Chains A and B, each alone.
Chain A
Amino acid sequence: MTGALLTIITDNWWDIRDLSNLSGAIRDLVSDAGGPGWLVYVVAGLLGAAGIVTFVGVTAIINIWIERRVVGRMQSRLGPNRPGPVGLLQPLADAIKLMQKEVLQPKLADALVFTAAPIAFTVPGIAVLAVVPWGRNMTLASLDAGIVFIFAMSSLAALAVFIGGYGSNNKYALFGSMRVIAMLVTYEIPIVMSLLGIAMFAGTMNLDGIVRFQEDHWLFLIMLQPLAFVIYFMSSSAELNRTPADLAEAESEIAGGYHVEYSGMKFGLYYAAELINCVTVSAIIATLFLGGWWAYKLDEIVPGWMIYIGKVYAVYFLFIWTRGTLPRFRIDQLLAFAWKWMTPMALVNVLMVAAEVLIWEETGWSAGVLLPIYVVLNNALALALIVAWVRVFAPRFERFPDRPRFYSTIDVPSLPAVAPVQPGTQSQ
């Protein structure tokens, strides 16, 4: 039994623990055949891209099912359970339905923008997955500016939403677009700030390097940077248009927002891309904060990319959970939240990290001594800042109690009969 397993776990190309063996095999194959050196990169890149696109396609389909089932469970109902075993074929049925539908386009919509927006919305989410490490030696493009690439791509998605809403020539869609831009401008800052701490600790912006840092120092960066995790999680849920910050599509207010005019597979693309973007952000969080494919000793037994996908879905579950629980903010409250809390907190976090890294480098003490101290210090700081903010700066509602008062008989205070204000007079 163990013998059979050991024959699989080799460094041959069929070893599923590490797909770099596969690209190594291709390299050998090409060089044996006397092909040019660049062909290796092209073939390996194409294979990796195919792998990622397959993952994205499967994820988008599976996520529809997962999201609906999990939220259904939270809402004390079943969720889709008719097509296929436990409703697994429901996404397929959805897709078939969406493809059959007519793709309508408003007469006055800008045809090019209207068509390009869903596509432009889908691409960045997939592109980000190219720079994240899927396992040891399993990064499609190990960019040195990996984090910067992530920022660039996540802003592109918001711009795609904006042009889609603006090109629809619909008032609701315009409202959605305006809100998207307001949120983009606001939430990029805390996102960048929070990831700055990560980059400073790791000393690199390369995502491979960040995972290696976590592996070297035997900790997840969420322990060192809890505040950054909280900020990044909240800000990215605003960027992802997910409850409690789904203002751009706010179904109960602006009836779908930017995608109100989309139908058929164009809408389907938006719908799928939203889930893909959510997985992408979960992947970023899993890489930067939760150690990526590395999990203490576990990655020696389980293939790294399986651990990684497990972590991605654990974060994704958090997103589903918030979505199933919380109501929506108002736009001004959301923006105020970002400017008044997230940005200052992120700044404090950056300062703290800078001081800590400076001490680390100047004193030259070993990481084994300093990092545990930093873990305790930063967790205490994060807790203290959050509690202090809730106590000091949170809007006060204690002016009135949460519960009504009770009367056992009718009681009407004598009031003056006011002259009514006629409707519309307040607007002048």
Chain B
Amino acid sequence: MPIKSEPVEVNIGPQHPSTHGVFRMVARIDGERVTDVKMVVGYLHRSMEKLAEERTYTQNIPFTDRMDYLAAMTGNLGYCLSVEKLAGIDVPERAQYLRTMFSELQRVASHCMATGAFINDCGAWQTPVMYTFRDREKVLDLFEMTCGARITTNYMRIGGVAFDIPDEFLPALDWLVNDDLPARFEELENLIVGNEIILMRSRDVGVVTPEMAINASLSGPMLRSAGIAWDIRKADPYCVYDRMNFEIPVGYNGDSYDRMVIRIEEMKQSLRIIRQCMAELPDGPHKVDVPLALRPPAGEAYSRVESPKGELGFYVVSDGGPAPYRWHVRAPSLINLSVLPQMTIGQSIADAIVTLGSIDINVGEVDR
């Protein structure tokens, strides 16, 4: 007699330890195998794009903190760049360097979080996540030193940055990027890179082919893991990235393991960029004066930055008024999720969790 079985629908999320926020994945499961996946997002939708139409350009900067709350600096930066492009504002040299430095620090913090959480999704009992959180805290301490906030920094301004760095900042940064973090990354790599269980769990799990990666508009480590050397910092340099000497880590197979090691290598490259910024940091004003009620000329601008999650783009339409007429965010987390069904269907439920963890979504940015 054949055994009758029927697939079970399981809600993974919105309350689940591994959904990184309030993301919901309705998975139909046959035994341990996922046969269908439906994404349900929107639990954190705050309608920022609508709210921004009622506020001035400067007042909108805090919204960008709250989108990708793990990478607030790059969110600030992307928005300010788009408004500067629209209004034709030139940013002083020192501010450019500070922006580069802080967005790289933010990348370190965000990738620390992503790597630790990914290993946690692989089932490690909190140890790697504690290691990476320890490193992330030190970066956040530097943010606190500079702008008073750790997570929602609200640091970049249209035409520069809000505050110049304090005197204690550079020695602390010097210790962090030259002494502390390299040793910590080595420790982390000894723990996880090449670990047999992690290889078993994440190699060939959640594979993205290069064709699919480009077709699905993936960006960031997702795109690079598929073997495509693409980085907005190289392809469309903003701030002072064109003067920086760094490399793009690129994976081979497009699987979860590649994404993890790419994040670790990117952190090291970020340290390289920060060291160069520290060496070349010029004196001068840290911002130009921009009217509070900035009225850019009517028109539109799309500018993009390489956020830790991928290509973070801001499309701003102005009608000449003090508030943006329309403000759209190209959220890398949302678009990287497009291939989640293709990646997870056919895998086991444990692999689906690992795949989701390797995408490194941030629900604040998915839902906006």
Question: Which residues of A does B touch, CB under 8 Å?
Answer: 71, 74-77, 171-172, 174-175, 243-244, 246, 250-255, 323-333, 394-395, 397, 399-413, 415-418, 420-421, 423-424, 426-427
Contacts and interface: CB of A to CB of B under 8 A. Distances in A.
Main secondary structure on A side of the interface with B: loop
Contact of A423 (B16, B123, B265, B342): B342
A387 to B, nearest CB: 14
Nearest to B245: A408
A51 B134 CA distance: 44
8 A-B pairs with least C-beta separation: A328-B123, A423-B341, A407-B229, A75-B130, A404-B249, A411-B229, A406-B247, A327-B124
A332 B348 contact: yes
Interface in B336-363: 341-342, 345-346, 348-351, 353, 357
A244 B123 contact: yes
Given A325-B127, A327-B124, A415 B252 contact: no
A411 B191 CA distance: 31
B345 A423 contact: yes
A328 B122 contact: yes
Nearest to A395: B200
A81 to B, nearest CB: 16
Given A327-B119, A327-B195, A404 B262 contact: yes
Interface in B199-241: 199-201, 203, 209-212, 214-216, 224, 227-231, 234-235
A407 B250 contact: yes
B126 A254 contact: no
Given A76-B131, A250-B123, A427-B35, A255 B16 contact: yes
B96 interface: no
Contacts of A254: 349
Interface string B92-103: 000000000000
B249 A413 contact: no
A41 B348 CA distance: 55
Given A250-B123, A327-B122, A410-B229, A415 B350 contact: no
B196 interface: yes
A329 B194 contact: no
A415 B210 contact: yes
A171 B342 contact: no
A14 B345 CA distance: 67
B32 interface: yes
Given A175-B10, A404-B224, A426-B342, 14 more contacts: A75-B126, A172-B10, A243-B123, A323-B125, A327-B123, A327-B198, A400-B258, A401-B252, A406-B247, A406-B265, A410-B235, A417-B215, A423-B341, A426-B345
B37 A423 contact: yes
Nearest to A423: B341
Nearest to A415: B211
